[in-house]
Structure 1
């Protein structure tokens, strides 16, 4: 048989990866490049489209060279991308109106707070709850607790409409096209023939309704999003994506799939059955459960998203997220707590505990069960006896604690029986965190040989669609486990008090950036030489300032 080759392009928050797989799902070529992030103002996190495009072209060329293959030998390619990162560009010229505004960006934080506390939004949620009581429709239940977050696209897009003059004009002239990163990449790869996004990426924007599988009417109306600018929403895999321009890599490559990175990760981890769980610990932590043919209406902040759609097969996922994971490790490294992230597990186990120190990982706020975008990061409980090892252990423990909380939300809201967590992402290589996750959840944790599951999953869905692999059961046989972490019940009990005290520390940091404090401190009035009271001292630390610290 003629060998078939699958090219995958995975664009994450910090890296761009291009892998080439053969018919046995073996890697025959690969290349990695860095995503260049720009921070023009505190809290602003951007990607330059031209820089990203140059990196995409280059990294694919390098992977082809590594495999000693040409673009003409590729059977097909697929794309997986970070979600929530978006761009607006001209329909006529293809020129962007601004840089990519990434999912880590906090420029719309003020709008997020305003909308969540507005009477308009409270009325919307109250109306949704009344409709739920009458109709018992899960869609309205989800709407009654919906909360805007910085990671969603909607209010950052609304910010762009208000603050980018050229975009305002283009909207009036119907010259604006909107797209998340996947949409723009498809547009570029096909020379402007395709303006599409798949259901998994659309559902992560915050204004695509997974219950009706349409762009949400309330989002179009309330946020004044021009419907004409929105991309067509299509299946996760199929022939609709067409092919790349031959001029890019010397030969057209057929594009079979384009999807969100967490969907790709679910395919890589073979989470095909209802109740299957995968845990991605990359830049952020994403806990996903396959919920089958119905979206999950959450009350604690789990996000109902579309996993994938392939013809008549529509699969949903419930997702709990903690937005800071690898970014926390990188920050701690820059702070000088350690030189190499690979050493952190050994550093953590060099001390028996944290000596009463706790860390709150909230540079981008806290997700479920807090859903607090105004929470702050910080160490609590430091004392003269605190060492770097204690701080490192506190950081690692906090990431496992947040995962345990996400799992708790899942257990409270679903009736699934869980036995195994399928782990992936760069931070999953940390044995201390992986074992502690197993201990706290009481579940078996499986770590694969290759932890970058987005690329693997992208190859899986392409091969499955093309018939290279005949069934999902066959895909399961391709999955290779490197290490299994079994729960230790005695350790869960040993951590009970620590976990409770950590949760108390978290509560103290919640609402930090929206707090108002009253001080009765007195200061000397230099002009009159009298002492006057100063009232209503306000703590003004903004979410943007906090965001700049995380960089």
Structure 2
């Protein structure tokens, strides 16, 4: 039988990956390249679409070369992308109105806080709770605790519609097209032929209702989002994605799947059954639980998303997230705490504990159970005895602590029984973190041979579409576990006090930026010896805090 080859394209927050797999799910070629992030203003995090497209085309071309193949030998391809990152462009000219506004971007933070604190939104939540009491509908229960977050697309898109004049005019004239990264990428790959997104990417925008499986009419009304700009929402896999334009790589390649990266990760980890858990530790941490055929209505901030839809099969996931993981490791490296991230586990284990030092990983705020976008990062508890190793250990412990908190939210809100966690993502290669997660959750933690599960998940779902694998059971049989971390009850007990103190430290950092006005100092200079000002004069300098408010 002729060999079949599957190309997967995974566009993450920091890395573009192109992998080519054979019929045994073995990698025969690959290439990677870093995503260039732009920071034009404080809090703004953007990606240039022209730069990204050039990199994507080059990365795929290099993967062909690495595999010794050409485009005409590729049977089909699948795509996975970061979520929440979006762009808008002209229907008439196909030119973008702005760069990609990424999920890490904080430009709409003021809008997020204003809406969460508004009487309108409080009334909506109260009304939802009243309807929940009457109907017991999970949809209204979710609405009663719903808070806007910077990671959702909703208010960043609102900001763009309000502040980018060309986009505002185009929206009025029905010339604007909106798309998350997957949608734009399909548009480009197909030669501007399709404007669609799959259910998993749509459900992460914040204005797609996972309970009705439609764009949320209430959100479009509240935020003046034009329906005419939105893409068609389709199944996660199928031939509706058509094919790539032959002009890109010299031959058309059928696109058989396009999905959100966390869905791809679930497929790569074979999380096909209710209660299956995967933990992705990449740029951020994403704790996903397969909740089956019904969306999870959370009270602590777990987000109900669509896992995937394949014809009649509709699977949901509950997700808890911490937005800073690999970004914390990179920051600590830039700070000089270590030279190579691979050394951090050994550095952390070189000391018996963190010497009472705690780190709060909140560069982009904190997710469940805090759901506080105004929280701040920082070390607490440093003393003269604190060493570099203590700081490194505190950083790594904080990432495991946040994961333990996400798991506690899941335990409190569901009756599901869990047997283990399936790890993936670059940070999961850290043995110290992986073992501590097992200890704190009391669950068996499995790490695969290759931790890049998004690419493999794309290959799995495309392979099923092609008939390379006949069932999900066949995928389970080829899953390769590289390392298993078993929980140590005695270690969990030893962390009861440290984690309680860490949680106290986190509470001190919550709300740090809320309603904070920086003190404005006015220096008063008085000459104590002469009426003339000369370098020899002695001066008395005093400062007055004009608003009289200091951060707590």
Query: TM-score w.r.t. structure 2 length?
Result: 0.95
Structure-2 residue corresponding to 1:239? 239
1:338-349 equivalences in 2 (<5 Å): 338-349=338-349
Structure-1 residue corresponding to 2:507? 507
**Pairwise CA RMSD:** 1.9
**Structure 2 residue 490 is matched with structure 1 residue 479:** no
**1:446 and 1:484 in contact (8 A); partners too:** yes
- Rg larger in structure: 2
For the residues of structure 1 that align with 2:485 and 2:24, how far apart are their CA atoms?
A: 27
**2:512 and 2:551 in contact (8 A); partners too:** no
For the residues of structure 2 that align with 1:219 and 1:58, how far apart are their CA atoms?
A: 38
Query: Which whole-Å deviations, capped at 9, do the CAs of 1:327-376 have from their partners, x for residues lacking one?
Result: 00000000000000000000000111111100000000000000000000
Query: Which whole-Å deviations, capped at 9, do the CAs of 1:76-96 have from their partners, x for residues lacking one?
Result: 000000000000000011100
For the residues of structure 2 that align with 1:243 and 1:517, how far apart are their CA atoms?
A: 53
Structure-2 residue corresponding to 1:58? 58
Unaligned runs of 5+ in 2: 528-539
For the residues of structure 2 that align with 1:216 and 1:503, how far apart are their CA atoms?
A: 36
Structure-2 residue corresponding to 1:43? 43
For the residues of structure 1 that align with 2:420 and 2:541, how far apart are their CA atoms?
A: 68
**Structure 2 residue 424 is matched with structure 1 residue 413:** no
For the residues of structure 2 that align with 1:64 and 1:306, how far apart are their CA atoms?
A: 33
Structure-2 residue corresponding to 1:284? 284
Q: How far is the alpha carbon of 1:538 from its aligned partner?
A: 3.5
Query: Which whole-Å deviations, capped at 9, do the CAs of 1:373-427 have from their partners, x for residues lacking one?
Result: 0000000000111111000000000000000000000000000111110000000
Residues 501 and 4 of structure 1: CA distance in aligned 2, closer, same or farther (over 3 Å): same
Structure-1 residue corresponding to 2:445? 445
Residues 531 and 276 of structure 1: CA distance in aligned 2, closer, same or farther (over 3 Å): closer
For the residues of structure 1 that align with 2:546 and 2:33, how far apart are their CA atoms?
A: 53
Query: Which whole-Å deviations, capped at 9, do the CAs of 1:95-126 have from their partners, x for residues lacking one?
Result: 00000000000000000000000011111111
Q: How far is the alpha carbon of 1:218 from its aligned partner?
A: 1.1
Q: How far is the alpha carbon of 1:173 from its aligned partner?
A: 1.2
**Structure 2 residue 551 is matched with structure 1 residue 537:** no
Structure-1 residue corresponding to 2:92? 92
Q: Is the partner of 2:92 in helix, strand or coil?
A: coil
For the residues of structure 2 that align with 1:429 and 1:488, how far apart are their CA atoms?
A: 19
Query: Which whole-Å deviations, capped at 9, do the CAs of 1:136-161 have from their partners, x for residues lacking one?
Result: 11001001100000000000000000
Number of residue pairs matched?
Answer: 540
1:108-507 equivalences in 2 (<5 Å): 108-507=108-507
Structure-2 residue corresponding to 1:548? none
**2:109 and 2:150 in contact (8 A); partners too:** yes
Residues 161 and 287 of structure 1: CA distance in aligned 2, closer, same or farther (over 3 Å): same
For the residues of structure 1 that align with 2:541 and 2:277, how far apart are their CA atoms?
A: 66
Q: Is the partner of 1:514 in helix, strand or coil?
A: coil
For the residues of structure 2 that align with 1:275 and 1:530, how far apart are their CA atoms?
A: 64
For the residues of structure 1 that align with 2:17 and 2:548, how far apart are their CA atoms?
A: 49
Query: Which whole-Å deviations, capped at 9, do the CAs of 1:413-465 have from their partners, x for residues lacking one?
Result: 00011111000000000000000000000000000000000000000000012
Q: How far is the alpha carbon of 1:60 from its aligned partner?
A: 0.3
Q: How far is the alpha carbon of 1:537 from its aligned partner?
A: 2.6
Q: How far is the alpha carbon of 1:535 from its aligned partner?
A: 6.9
For the residues of structure 2 that align with 1:116 and 1:526, how far apart are their CA atoms?
A: 47
Query: Which whole-Å deviations, capped at 9, do the CAs of 1:260-307 have from their partners, x for residues lacking one?
Result: 000000000000000000000000000000000000000000000000
For the residues of structure 1 that align with 2:375 and 2:473, how far apart are their CA atoms?
A: 43
Structure-1 residue corresponding to 2:537? none
Residues 348 and 532 of structure 1: CA distance in aligned 2, closer, same or farther (over 3 Å): closer
Q: Is the partner of 1:376 in helix, strand or coil?
A: coil
**2:152 and 2:205 in contact (8 A); partners too:** yes
**1:197 and 1:233 in contact (8 A); partners too:** yes
Q: Is the partner of 2:513 in helix, strand or coil?
A: helix
**1:518 and 1:537 in contact (8 A); partners too:** no
For the residues of structure 1 that align with 2:491 and 2:393, how far apart are their CA atoms?
A: 15
